[in-house]
Amino acid sequence: MTHDSSAAGRPLFRALVGVRRATWVVGCGVLVAIGSVGPGACASSSRVSIMDPDHPVQSAVSLGVLETSLDEALPVRSVAAAAEAALRDRGYTVVSARTTDESARLEASPPGRSMSPRWRVDVRADGAGKTSIAVTRRPWADGAAARVLMDAILQRLNR
């Protein structure tokens, strides 16, 4: 009696090849879908008017980050203090604050919840006499909540 191991193993081999091929096709399809969206597809621009409707502040949302650029040079430490006060007023605890004359980064979390979303506020002063403020909620972005926080920061700066 002879035993042909190659014939017995063929159906199993074909099944595995079929699974691998299907996985490869699905994986490539997912990568193509993600690549076609790209970073520009999640970007939008909107106008936010805080104190003076005649002089609205321009904001842009890109990849879950709400960024506002002010046309004047404000002290970075003052903007960071306004952001910290706005976060504390909403019950958040500032867990990290790094501030220099050129940039600042604050991170805040809700009290008593280590797994809840955290806020991050970045402030930058550029050489052209502008100040930019970026507000991010991680790990899940929330555009409406980011706008509310940005409004509170800008109101504290009288902008």
Q: How confident is the model at residue 151 (pLDDT cuts 50, 70, 90)?
A: very high
Of 10-19, 30-39, 60-69, which range is least confident?
30-39
C-beta atoms surrounding 122 within 10 Å: 18
Tell me what the pLDDT averaged over the chain comes to: 77
Dihedral angle of Cα 66, 70, 74, 77, to the nearest 10 degrees: 0
CA distance 44 to 62: 6
Task: Tell me the CATH number at 117.
Answer: 3.30.310.240
Q: Is the pLDDT of residue 143 over 90?
A: no
Q: What is the pLDDT of residue 18?
A: 56
Tokens matching residue 124: 């930058």
My answer on whether 123 and 52 are in the same domain is yes
Q: What is the pLDDT of residue 37?
A: 42
Domain, as residue range, for 71: 42-156
Q: What is the pLDDT of residue 3?
A: 53
Asked whether the CA dihedral 72, 148, 138, 57 is positive or negative, the reply is: negative
My answer on whether 27 and 85 are in the same domain is no
pTM of the full structure: 0.65
**Are the C-beta atoms of residues 57 and 155 closer than 8 Å to each other?**
no
Q: How many residues does the chain have?
A: 159
